């Protein structure tokens, strides 16, 4: 098999000449093809079949113990000029990077099949979608890409119509950590990955294409590729507003995307609809609003901590047609991870007899891959070629103090500063130092495919005559009291904050203006049925001026790090707030 597109055939032929596979297979995405690949992986031990009664068509994959997460220090953005990659990325000259990779790829697929995987990020018929082709020697990657993207014959037909695609070349190589790279060539719309079979290092449609390369494409073409969930909030009148929200890791992104409202809200007729939990592509529409699609077709979620309490919707979709990576397993063949309320693991993620004192049952970064359509809160709007109109953009981080529960940015420029200054505090488990503030602008630090200074400027460029831009908010679900206890209950109760935001969008709620932003009046948040001391709520909605003055100085130092690429308008906005605080 081959394509009608000469440029695609030529590229596949050149890769085959370099990597020397025993066979070439063009993937069509069919059920029969998937069944053959699953059979192959069961036979060679790449997959383990789980309990057919409780988890039909579910499988466990164990990756190499040295290959369990993204490798940021081995991830490069290869632009002609180092300044275009920016201090937020590792840079390598394109010629040097191609030389490194060609040496690794030479003959690497001997004895293996080379799979050609055409895929579409977003609905196949959407003008907002973009396509790619991943060449890989991993059937595990093919099976995951089939769930995570629109993969196969339909995608190939669109690629042939468009005449363009992102090129992704992946080989698991020897799984040697010393021979592992993930290279991005934004100017060539190309990704090259070697030496890893794990998740985002190997499923090149995910972070590599949908964020690093797409953010570069988006800047060139006038849209935004963002590390954001997309959620629809339907009020009792049947009106739905869509919200895009960016959070760094460990801040409850998937939980918010699949939020179940408190009982009183459900009784009143509120509903929540999941469009996506990780990536959001936003394009300006003819009416001046931003319209968003989720370029993914599935969820590649972190398993530990996902439970009936934290995310019942996620648990409900994981009992059929799912792939689990690096979780534990029970005696009767069910998947198990830390945080689950029932079951008992007998084997850990490496297949060893489970011993709590030696290792957790599931690796902390263990994953599930499942179709988005299996989520109980999934909406068919996720397949709308036009996308969904975004009413509000939310930025959030994990801050034990200073940042209030919620505030609204004064205008778009202020909102971009809020996103650029976004930060989370480290935990002892991660770094050995508690409370170190790390900036993660728009939650894109590991994923922006070009210089952050230029990226902030691109965000600012959307504020032009005729634009009807979303309101921007910041939230912090993680404020703690003097005893180190969380002050806000979080999870489903975050709906109460979302309701206030949407009332601000529709002009139905007032706000208290402060130099930092507009806050709710304590009486404007619906706390019915919530056991929350009014004094605690007041504290959650109070601005510490001295603390914020210091914060603004730190933000200034951070922005200085991008030199003359930092937009003057952003620094002027920061200086204005600092002056008001003084």
Query: Residue 168 annotated as binding?
Result: no
Query: Residue 108 annotated as binding?
Result: no
- In a 10 Å sphere around its CB, with 0-12 CB exposed, 13-18 middle and 19+ buried, how is residue 96 labelled? exposed
Query: Residue 250 annotated as binding?
Result: yes
DSSP 8-state assignment for residue 114:
E
Backbone region of residue 252 per phi and psi (left: phi > 0; alpha: psi in -120 to 50; beta: other values): left
Query: Residue 468 annotated as binding?
Result: no
Please tell me whether residue 389 adopts helix, strand or coil conformation: strand
Query: Residue 254 annotated as binding?
Result: yes
Does the annotation mark 208 as catalytic? no
Question: Structure tokens of 528?
Answer: 């019915």
> What sections of 470-567 are H helices per DSSP?
495-505, 534-540, 545-560
Query: Residue 491 annotated as binding?
Result: yes
The DSSP secondary structure of 307-346, one letter per residue, reads -TTT-HHHHHTSSSSEEEES-EEETTS-EE-TT-SS--EE
Query: Residue 366 annotated as binding?
Result: yes
Backbone angles phi, psi at 286, to 5 degrees: -60, -25
Number of neighbours of residue 57 by Cβ within 10 angstroms: 14
Query: Residue 219 annotated as binding?
Result: no
Query: Residue 466 annotated as binding?
Result: no
Backbone region of residue 120 per phi and psi (left: phi > 0; alpha: psi in -120 to 50; beta: other values): beta
- Is residue 245 within 8 Å of 394, Cβ to Cβ? yes
Query: Residue 198 annotated as binding?
Result: yes
Query: Residue 253 annotated as binding?
Result: yes
Query: Residue 493 annotated as binding?
Result: yes
Query: Residue 278 annotated as binding?
Result: yes
- In a 10 Å sphere around its CB, with 0-12 CB exposed, 13-18 middle and 19+ buried, how is residue 276 labelled? buried
Q: Whole-angstrom Cα distance, residue 133 to residue 208?
A: 12
Query: Residue 171 annotated as binding?
Result: no
The active-site residue out of 27, 58, 120, 251 is 251
Query: Residue 252 annotated as binding?
Result: yes
Show binding-site residues.
70, 198-200, 207, 227, 249-255, 278, 365-367, 398, 491-494
Q: Which residues are annotated as a binding site for substrate?
A: 70, 198-200, 249, 365-367
Residues of each annotated binding site for Mn(2+)? 207, 227, 278
Catalytic residues: 251
| Residue list for the binding site for GTP | 250-255, 367, 398, 491-494
């Amino acid at each position: 098999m081959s394509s009608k597109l000469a440029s695609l055939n030529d590229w596949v032929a050149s890769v085959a000449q370099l990597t020397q596979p025993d066979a070439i297979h063009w993937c069509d995405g069919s059920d029969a093809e998937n069944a053959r690949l699953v059979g192959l992986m069961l036979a060679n031990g790449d997959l383990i079949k789980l309990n057919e009664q409780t988890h039909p068509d579910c499988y466990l994959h164990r990756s190499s113990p040295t290959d369990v997460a993204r490798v940021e220090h081995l991830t490069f953005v290869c632009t002609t000029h180092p300044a275009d990659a920016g201090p937020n990325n590792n840079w390598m000259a394109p010629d040097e990077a191609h030389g490194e990779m060609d040496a690794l790829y030479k003959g690497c697929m001997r004895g293996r099949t080379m799979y050609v995987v055409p895929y579409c990020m977003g609905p196949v018929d959407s003008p907002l979608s973009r396509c790619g082709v991943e060449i890989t020697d991993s059937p595990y990657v093919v099976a995951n890409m089939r769930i995570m993207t629109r993969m196969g014959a339909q995608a190939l037909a669109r690629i042939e119509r468009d005449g363009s695609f992102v090129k992704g070349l992946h080989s698991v190589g020897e799984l040697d950590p010393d021979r592992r790279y993930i290279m991005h060539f934004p100017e060539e719309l190309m990704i090259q990955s070697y030496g890893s079979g794990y998740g985002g290092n190997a499923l090149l449609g995910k972070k590599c294409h949908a964020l690093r390369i797409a953010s570069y494409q988006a800047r060139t073409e006038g849209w935004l590729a963002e590390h954001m969930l997309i959620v629809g909030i339907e009020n009792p009148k049947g009106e739905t507003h869509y919200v895009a929200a960016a959070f760094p890791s460990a801040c409850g992104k998937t939980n918010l995307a699949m939020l179940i409202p408190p009982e009183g809200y459900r009784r009143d007729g509120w509903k929540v609809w999941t469009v996506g939990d990780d990536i959001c592509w936003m394009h300006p529409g003819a009416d001046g609003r931003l319209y968003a699609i989720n370029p993914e077709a599935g969820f590649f979620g972190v398993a530990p901590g996902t439970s009936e309490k934290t995310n019942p919707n996620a648990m409900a979709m994981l009992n059929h047609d799912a792939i689990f990576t690096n979780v534990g397993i029970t005696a009767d063949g069910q998947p198990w991870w830390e945080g689950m309320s029932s079951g008992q693991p007998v084997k850990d993620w490496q297949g060893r007899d489970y011993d709590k004192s030696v290792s957790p049952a599931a690796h902390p970064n263990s994953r599930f891959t499942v179709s988005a359509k299996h989520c109980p809160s999934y909406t068919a709007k996720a397949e709308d070629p036009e996308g969904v109109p975004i009413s509000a953009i939310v930025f959030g981080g994990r801050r034990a103090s200073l940042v209030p529960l919620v505030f609204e940015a004064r205008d778009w420029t202020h909102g971009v500063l809020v996103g650029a200054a976004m930060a989370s505090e480290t935990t002892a488990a991660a770094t050995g130092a508690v409370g170190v503030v790390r900036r993660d602008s728009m939650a894109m630090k590991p994923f922006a495919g070009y210089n952050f200074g230029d990226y902030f400027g691109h965000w600012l460029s959307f504020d032009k005559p005729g634009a009807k831009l979303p309101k921007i908010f910041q939230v912090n679900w993680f404020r703690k009291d003097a005893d180190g206890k969380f002050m806000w209950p979080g999870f489903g109760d975050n709906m109460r904050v979302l309701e206030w935001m949407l009332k601000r969008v529709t002009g139905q709620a007032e706000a208290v203006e402060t130099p930092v932003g507009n806050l709710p009046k304590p009486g404007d948040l619906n706390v019915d049925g919530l056991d929350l001391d009014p004094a605690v709520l007041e504290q959650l909605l109070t601005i510490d001026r001295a603390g914020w003055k210091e914060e603004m100085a730190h933000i200034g130092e951070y922005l200085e790090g991008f030199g003359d690429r930092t937009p003057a308008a952003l620094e002027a906005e920061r200086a204005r707030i600092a002056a008001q605080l003084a």
